[in-house]
């Protein structure tokens, strides 16, 4: 079983040209009209290839069904999920993907005029793809492999199974969600209506990745109330909120920042600071794979708030902390057979699985805690959310073939 690379490239390029950046400043769902336009196009395509029960709800969520082949109705129902939106971190339109045929190695000039170069000196993983076809940007936008490569892999796999009814399989549910990049895509996902026994997001990176553990995540907002006094007569009177903000950051463990951590190591990340002498606010991302350590990190912030209020006066520091998502491993450990299934499928199509913790979160993390066990599979892409993004075509092929192999290997219940 081998998917048609040329057709997958054509499909991906078509998807990539839709402007689907999400917008955190808009509370609507989906947060941008472009996602709704792409959703309508995708739903039409799903109908055209022969999927059943294709639906778009009022929030832009798409679901569809690949019916079980005759006699296989008792197999567990599997879901495959990807997101419609692309990151707002960099320009997302007009995306002009370019296919580099038989990449010879060395630099790839993305934009001659702007001197933007994709180089193995900065991105040494490029050398692993010498001789392969690569999809790249024109150096002015992202590519959108996160997650249009995932959509492409899922749709291509479904189409292949529809065209090859001799491959037995159970009922398959497909789901495509808006606003994942702004952490909202699980908010209105109807797990009960989706009706899968377990699922996979196809939203990972390099070839072979299987991810079933991620950060526990919280966001803390620190509000600092200072006291403004004319600097000429400020001695003993002024309380500078900006100075306190700097002191607060220095109190955080010095080596526990994103730039100093990797693997399972957690961190504190001050990602936003604004204000004046009288009033300042600071946002802090709290991350840790271990739940006990995660709770200790939040407790440290509470202790710091008490200390600063003792030092500078009651009401100087106000701390609000809310949890965003938790490590899906808590929910996946009891159903590790779905990880074994994906591993076996990858090996069957010639890939050695790679198990690495996600230093972030996925839809799958929240869906797992909503009752749908949902690890994450690779798409093949690299350098997401930026102009140096690239997608090796053979890796995209393997993503689709892995989906097919997982579907074919699920045993009857």
The string over 158-180, giving b where at least 16 C-beta atoms fall within 10 Å of a residue's C-beta and e elsewhere, is: bbbbeeeeeebbbbbbbbbbbbb
- On whether the CB atoms of residues 229 and 239 are closer than 8 A, the answer is no
The two structure tokens encoding residue 216 = 């526990």
Q: Is the pLDDT of residue 367 over 80?
A: yes
Each residue of 110-156: pLDDT tens digit? 999 999 999 999 999 999 999 999 999 999 999 999 999 999 999 99
In this prediction, residues 83-100 reach a mean pLDDT of: 93
Q: What pLDDT does residue 411 have? A: 80
Pair 223, 311 in one domain = yes
Q: Are residues 156 and 19 in the same domain?
A: yes
Among all residues, which ones are annotated catalytic?
85, 180
Given 298, 325, 352, the domain boundary residue is: 325
pLDDT tens digits along 2-35: 999 999 999 999 999 999 999 989 999 999 999 9
pLDDT (0 to 100) of residue 412? 66
Q: pLDDT at residue 174 above 80? A: yes
Same domain, 118 and 191: yes
pLDDT value of position 303: 97
Closest CA to 337 of 375, 293, 310: 375
When pLDDT is averaged across residues 214-226 and rounded to a whole number, the result is: 96
pLDDT at 46: 98
Query: Is 97's pLDDT higher than 70?
Result: yes
**pTM for this one?**
0.90
Same domain flag for 168 and 45: yes
Domains of the chain: total: 2
Q: Tell me which residue range forms the domain holding 264.
A: 216-325
**pLDDT average, residue stretch 371-379:** 97
Question: Which of the 8 DSSP states describes residue 69?
Answer: P
Residue 413 has pLDDT above 70, yes or no: no
**CATH number of the domain enclosing 153:** 3.40.630.10
């Amino acid at each position: 079983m081998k998917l048609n690379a040329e057709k997958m490239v054509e499909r991906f390029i078509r998807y990539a040209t839709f402007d689907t950046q999400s917008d955190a400043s808009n509370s609507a769902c989906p947060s941008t009209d472009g996602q709704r336009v792409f959703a309508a196009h995708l739903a039409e395509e799903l109908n055209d290839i022969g999927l059943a029960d294709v639906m778009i709800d009022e929030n832009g969520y798409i679901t569809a069904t690949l019916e079980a082949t005759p006699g296989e109705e008792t197999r567990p129902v599997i879901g495959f999920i990807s997101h419609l939106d692309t990151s707002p971190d960099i320009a997302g339109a007009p995306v002009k993907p370019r296919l580099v045929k038989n990449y010879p190695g060395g630099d790839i000039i993305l934009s001659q005029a702007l001197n933007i170069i994709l180089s193995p000196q900065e991105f040494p993983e490029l050398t692993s793809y010498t001789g392969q076809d690569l999809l790249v940007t024109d150096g002015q936008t992202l590519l959108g492999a996160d997650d249009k490569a995932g959509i492409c892999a899922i749709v291509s796999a479904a189409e292949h199974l529809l065209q090859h009814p001799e491959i037995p399989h159970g009922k398959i549910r497909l789901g495509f969600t808006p606003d994942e990049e702004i952490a909202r895509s699980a908010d209105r996902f109807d797990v009960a209506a989706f009706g899968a026994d377990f699922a996979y997001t196809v939203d990972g990176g390099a070839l072979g990745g299987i991810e079933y553990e991620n950060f526990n995540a919280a966001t803390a907002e620190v509000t600092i109330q200072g006291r403004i006094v004319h600097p000429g007569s400020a001695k003993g009177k002024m309380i500078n909120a900006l100075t306190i903000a700097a002191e607060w950051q220095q109190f955080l463990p010095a080596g526990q920042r994103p730039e100093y951590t990797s693997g399972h190591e957690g961190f504190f990340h001050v990602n936003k600071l604004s204000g004046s002498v009288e009033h300042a606010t600071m946002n802090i991302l709290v991350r840790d794979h271990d739940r006990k350590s995660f709770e200790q990190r939040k407790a440290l912030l509470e202790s710091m708030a008490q200390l600063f209020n003792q030092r500078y006066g009651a009401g100087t520091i106000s701390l609000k902390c809310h949890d965003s998502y938790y490590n899906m491993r808590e929910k996946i450990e009891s159903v590790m057979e779905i990880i074994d299934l994906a591993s076996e499928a990858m090996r069957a199509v010639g890939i050695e699985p790679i198990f690495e913790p996600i230093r972030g979160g996925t839809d799958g993390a929240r869906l797992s805690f909503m009752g749908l066990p949902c690890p994450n599979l690779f798409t093949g892409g690299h350098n997401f959310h930026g102009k140096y993004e690239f997608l090796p075509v053979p890796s995209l092929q393997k993503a689709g073939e892995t989906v097919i192999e997982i579907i074919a290997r699920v045993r009857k219940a």
